[in-house]
Structure 1
Amino acid sequence: MANLKEVRLRIASVKSTQQITKAMKMVSAAKFRRATDAIVQMRPYANKLKGMLANLSDSVADMDNVYTQERELNNVLLVVITSNRGLAGAFNNSVIKATNALIAEKFAEHKTKGKLFIVAVGKKSQDFYSKNGFQVIGNNNELFNKLNFANASQIVEQIMEGFAEGKVDHVEMIYNQFKNAAVQIITLEQLLPLPKAPQDGSTSKVDYLFEPSKEEIVEELIPKSIKLQFYKALLDSHAAEHGARMTAMDKATENAGELLKSLTLQYNQARQAAITNEILEIVSGANALAEG
């Protein structure tokens, strides 16, 4: 009977867990729809602005804009975008793993010399790099609680200011790009200096008429484009997070259902065995009395 009690407790525990994972899946599904709408609406605008700057690359090259300056890589800044919470499968670990691989491949010397800095967006990356002896700048864990362009701009403006003052010479972002609920693409994207247009003919050249002037327009577009690319990365990561969590909780709910079937079968078998033993004991007792 002790075995039956143990199985009953396990069944109750799995049912409780299944209710929690199902509820979390529903919450993530609601947040996922809102986050998806935000990135789907933002992406065409951000890509178009990025394309315009690519077409203006020759004009930008002629101008001495601080955000396009290629420098010797003395100080490197990596922006690592994760989430504040777990239970999202490999969502956070994939970003951290990709960041560590990037550091080992390109910036190991900078890390050794203390010239590698981390801006962590999300508690998971903040905790990991703080505990592992990296130079983490600031705390941005509250950003996803109220994600909007104004709050994102405050972070990227500090990064842009550091680049303009020569405190950092190269800035890259590592984040999950949203594709669909089940697929997130690890993305490494250079934020500063502003990447030049590819010379392989993939970018079509467009002749623009500048009003009021080329210089004023380009000077206005470059900071706006940098802020927009950063904000787009945050929206991508935000949508990918909820998609990953929704998928993970759906799988957990499904696994709990399979475990319940197995435990129920185990319980029925144990119960049947217990009843059989009781019947055998009764029959044996009756036989003993009859013989007596």
Structure 2
Amino acid sequence: MASLKEVRSRITSVSSTQQITKAMKMVAAAKLRRAQDNILRMRPYAQRLSGILANLSSLTEGSVTNVYSQKREPNRVLIIAVTSDRGLAGAFNSNIIKAASTLATTKYRSQMDAGNVTFLTIGRKGFEAFSKRGYKVIGNYTGVFANLSFDSVRGAAEHAMDGFVKGEFDQVELVYNEFKNVATQIVRTEQLLPIEEQLVDDSRAATLVADYTFEPSKEEIIQELIPKSLKIQVYKAVLESNASEHGARMTAMDKATENAGELLKELKLTYNRTRQAAITKEILEIVGGAEALASK
């Protein structure tokens, strides 16, 4: 049985840990509110922009040459993995790392064996994990969450887009956590490039023509919107991941605080039992000594 000093030391240590986890939960909750507001404002804009772009692309009927829609044999693949810069968020980072690794070793198995799968990481945890596994990693974008903005994420999107245009990559996949609620984050895998075209029937096309007024032209508008839409798509994924990270950390720290409370109860019970046993032993020793003196 542990001594009273050891049990007191453990109680002090667990109490300090509980205070830290409780503080981290409160910080995560405060950051989550801001992050949740940001992604809720971004979602309608991103969806509307993607819808307009899809409608305009359908109306051009292939008359516009778009470098971001060129379909090639996926011999060289880029996987963009969005993780966080810090840990203590439960399975948040490990889920993304596992999903990206599984994507590379299943869907792109032959390309992986040939060394033609490259990872672009947003977040330090992903960079460290893929580097340790010996994967080919480029574009280590860490620190973007410290001052998250469109400009801080745009570089990663442009890196992938330029690589696709130059033929360095034939296909680009995006892996991130989508925010659903505080306790739930959904791992999403989306094809960023090439852009998948959406077809509409003639009746729908006639309706779309009536809905839009084009100035200067459909072609110029599409050429302007496509790069912006791709960057917005990456930015939206990072915002989703940011909100998911704070939700996951809040949940993890709440659970850690509860576990620390349960452990404290057990330690205090052990302390009381140990103290009672020590007192009983001392009493027995005193009674035994008194009886020995009385017998003389």
TM range (shorter): over 0.9
Q: Is the 8 A contact 2:39 2:239 kept in 1?
A: yes
Question: Partner letter of residue 223 of structure 2?
Answer: E
Comparing 245-254 with 100-109, which one deviates more in the overlay?
100-109
Distance in 2, Cα, partners of 1:147 & 1:246: 19
Comparing 203-212 with 84-93, which one deviates more in the overlay?
203-212
TM-score (norm 2): 0.93
Per-residue deviation at 1:32? 1.1
> What secondary structure does 1:212 align onto?
coil
In structure 2, the residue matched to 1:147 is 148
Per-residue deviation at 1:285? 1.0
CA-to-aligned-CA distance 1:61-109 (integer Å, 9 cap, x gap): 5121001111111210000010011100000000011111111211111
Per-residue deviation at 1:198? 7.2
- Structure 1, unpaired ranges of 5+: none
Distance 1:60-1:120 versus aligned 2 partners, 3 A rule: farther
CA-to-aligned-CA distance 1:115-163 (integer Å, 9 cap, x gap): 1111011111101111212111122112222211112112211211111
Q: What is the total number of aligned residue pairs between the two structures?
A: 290
User: Equivalent pairs: percent with the same residue?
Assistant: 58
Question: Partner letter of residue 7 of structure 2?
Answer: V
> What secondary structure does 1:71 align onto?
coil
Distance in 2, Cα, partners of 1:178 & 1:61: 35
> What secondary structure does 2:172 align onto?
strand
1:132 is aligned to 2:133? yes
Q: Is the 8 A contact 1:76 1:168 kept in 2?
A: yes
1:240 is aligned to 2:244? yes
Of the three residues 225, 250, 254, the one matched with 1:221 is 225
Distance in 1, Cα, partners of 2:267 & 2:200: 62
Q: Is the 8 A contact 1:61 1:68 kept in 2?
A: no
In structure 2, the residue matched to 1:5 is 5
CA-to-aligned-CA distance 1:208-243 (integer Å, 9 cap, x gap): 332221101111111111010000000000110011
Query: In angstroms, what is the RMSD of aligned CA positions?
Result: 1.8
Distance in 2, Cα, partners of 1:28 & 1:89: 13
Of the three residues 280, 284, 291, the one matched with 2:288 is 284
Residues 1-292 of structure 1 correspond to what in structure 2 (within 5 A)?
3-59=3-59, 62=62, 63-197=64-198, 206-207=208-209, 208-292=212-296
Per-residue deviation at 1:19? 0.8
Distance 1:127-1:23 versus aligned 2 partners, 3 A rule: same
Q: Is the 8 A contact 1:60 1:218 kept in 2?
A: no
